[in-house]
Amino acid sequence: MNIPGVDLADFLSGDESRKQKFVAELGKAYEEVGFVAVRNHGVPDELIADLYKYVQQFFALPTETKLNYEKKELAGQRGYTSFGREHAKGFDAPDLKEFFQYGQTVEDGEQVTDDYPENVTVDEVPELSPTLYKAYRNFEKSGKALLQAIALFLGLDENYFDNYVHNGNSILRAIHYPPISNEPKSAIRAEQHEDINLITLLVGASADGLQILTKQNEWVGVTSLPEQIVVNVGDMLQRLTNNRLRSTTHRVVNPPRELWGTSRYSIPFFLHPKGSMSLACLEGCVSEETPKAYEDATAGEYLDERLREIGLKK
């Protein structure tokens, strides 16, 4: 499926007509599809290449070594999470993946209400942490610009989200789907789900497999083109907009049998606000025709609830 494409350079150009064109195209794509491909996204190709290189080096380490970096008390929010620990909401079967998560580093002394745990440093791959840090900052910058465009589309102040996502609880997740060695019980590597956060930025993936559920209730494969990132709406933005912008259901399916012996790598950036942000439905998104669909909650309360539902938090 060719998902709608936009050029972030239009939004950042300083040309008001190009900026408004971008806002309209982005909003239309999110209302109609829920995914958009972004060109000129600001994350350098060399950095992306380094990111995948060091992530693959980490996952190639022996299991007993990787387990040294699993901190179960952190509910999968930092460091390594071993194969089969996470499942999609509403499903008992674990997803066929292992992952490594890197989070926020507060550097300006702001007293953030969220108590962020320290990031986990991998001794065996010393380049991993600095590369994750650089990628995190680049994704954060691109995501902030995209949220500014979303704010304008919703009739809000352009900087509505800025303070919420500055020092926000965003997560960079490196995922490894290992080779399939036995006849799988299911055709699904990661069961259908919606993301928890405001928006997700996905830069490439080492293999096909991502599918989205269209408005016509059909599963369609999504292939991201070179030099583009795929950005989708998450549940927090769906709640905030009272379903005007809907979180897109997606999954990862197994490859054809001849490719069972290959790994799949994927590195999404889950853009979260600070936990104190209210997700109460925006007044402009509530009307007689579209009554308020959700109870008020903060981003932190909602994240906590979802981490329990997917088995990462007890």
Span 98-131, pLDDT tens digits: 999 999 999 998 888 677 899 999 999 999 999 9
Residue type for position 53? K
- Distance separating alpha carbons of residues 173 and 106, to the nearest angstrom: 18
Query: Is the CB of residue 171 less than 8 Å from the CB of residue 101?
Result: yes
What integer pLDDT is reported at residue 207 of this predicted model? 53
What DSSP letter does each residue of 18-70 carry, written as one string?
Answer: HHHHHHHHHHHHHHHTSEEEEES-S--HHHHHHHHHHHHHHHTS-HHHHGGGB
225 pLDDT above the threshold of 70 = no
What integer pLDDT is reported at residue 23 of this predicted model? 97
236 pLDDT above the threshold of 90 = yes
Average pLDDT estimate for 239-259:
87
What integer pLDDT is reported at residue 293 of this predicted model? 95
Q: CA 60, 173, 91: angle at the middle one, nearest 5?
A: 100
The edge-to-edge listing of strands for the beta sheet with 250-253 is 188-193, 250-253, 210-213, 219-221
87 pLDDT above the threshold of 60 = no
Domains of the chain as residue ranges with CATH: 5-309 (2.60.120.330)
Would the CA dihedral through 127, 169, 203, 14 be positive or negative? negative
Q: Work out the number of other CB atoms within 10 angstroms of the CB of residue 276.
A: 14
Q: Work out the number of other CB atoms within 10 angstroms of the CB of residue 289.
A: 5
Phi-psi region at 40: left, alpha or beta (left = phi > 0; alpha = psi -120 to 50):
left
